[in-house]
Chain A
Amino acid sequence: MSADVAHDLQAQAEPKERVATRVRVVLALGPLASLAGVAWAIAQPWRLTLLHPFGQGFWWLFSEPPLYVVLVGLLFRFVVAPGIAADLEDSR
C-alpha cells in the first residue's frame, strides 16, 4: 500500500475513533450523575425522608436531593443524550 494512501486512511480512522469516544462520554454523563445520586442515598439515607415518612410535612417529603440527582441523570440520558449522540454520529 502506498504511504500516501495509508496516511489518508490513518487520518480518516482517527476522527472516527475520537467521535466514538465522545459519544461514549456523552452517553455516560447521565448514568454517572445517577450513580452519584444512588451512592449519596446509600451514604446518607436520612436525606431521603421517603424512607421514614411518618411525621414529615409536605416540603420534607417533596425535597429528596439524592433522588433529584438520580432523576437529572436519567432525564439527561434518555431525553438529551440520544439526540446528541445521533448528531455526533452524523457529523462523521
Chain B
Amino acid sequence: MMPAAEMVHWWFATGFLVIGLLLFAEAIVGTEVWQRRAWRKYLWPSFLFGMGVLMWPVMTFFTNSAVHMVAHGSWAQFLMLAGGAELGVARGKLHSQYWRLCSAAAMLVSGTALLVHEQQHWLFARAAFLHHTLGWTMIVGSIFPIAQAIRPRSLTAATGFATVFVTTAVILFCDRDSAAIFGHFSQYAGVPHR
C-alpha cells in the first residue's frame, strides 16, 4: 500500500523543479516586476513551506532508523523555517535582507543531514551516490543564498540559487533505491533495478 521510497523522491523532485523555474523567472525579470502581482510573490515560498510540511509524513512513514528520522525531521523543520521566513519577507512583515540566511541554513542542515544519514560509500548503489551528491550540492549551493543576503540584487546569486533547486530536482529524479551507478553495484545492496 505504501509508495516506494524512490517515488517520494520523484514527488519532491517535482516540487524542487517548480521552485527552480519560479526562481529562474524571478531572477530574469527582477524582484520589482515579479512582485507586481500579489499572488506571485508568495508562490515559491509557499511551495518551500509546503514541502517542509510534507516532509513530516515522510519522516513518519519512511523511518527505518533513528538517523533517518533525525534527518527527515531536520529537513522538515528547516524547509518550514526557510519557507516561513521567505513568506514573512514577501508579506512585508520581515524587512531585513538577512532573512535569506534562513534558506542558507536550510541548505546547510539539509546537506549535512544527507551526508550523515547516508551510511554507505559513494558507489554502493545509485541511491548512495545520489545522496552524497545531493549533500555536497546543498552545502556548496548554500553560498548563493548567503551571497543574496549580502547582495540582494546580485543576478549571479539569484540564478545560482535557482540552479541549485533545478540540480536538486534532476538528482532526485535520477534516484532508484537499488540500481548500479557507473557500473558499480555492491553485492549487499539488494536486488538491482534498472
Contact = CB atoms under 8 A, between A and B. Distances in A.
Given A33-B17, A59-B4, A80-B22, A26 B32 contact: no
B143 to A, nearest CB: 24
A29 B21 contact: yes
Q: Chain B contact residues: over half helix, strand or loop, or mixed?
A: helix
Interface string A60-88: 10110100110011001000110110011
B93 interface: no
Interface in B134-184: 173
Interface residues of B, number: 25
A29 B4 contact: no
Given A59-B3, A68-B10, A83-B40, A91 B32 contact: yes
A28 B15 CA distance: 20
A23 B33 CA distance: 12
A62 B24 CA distance: 28
Given A65-B173, A69-B173, A81 B25 contact: yes
A26 B7 contact: no
Given A33-B17, A72-B17, A80-B40, A63 B10 contact: yes
Contacts of A68: 10, 13-14, 17
Interface in B17-42: 17-18, 21-22, 24-25, 28-29, 32-34, 36-37, 40
A59 B7 contact: yes
27 contacts: A22-B28, A29-B25, A30-B21, A46-B194, A59-B4, A59-B7, A60-B7, A63-B7, A63-B10, A65-B14, A68-B10, A68-B14, A72-B17, A72-B18, A72-B21, A76-B18, A76-B21, A76-B22, A76-B25, A83-B37, A84-B29, A84-B33, A84-B40, A87-B33, A87-B36, A87-B37, A88-B33
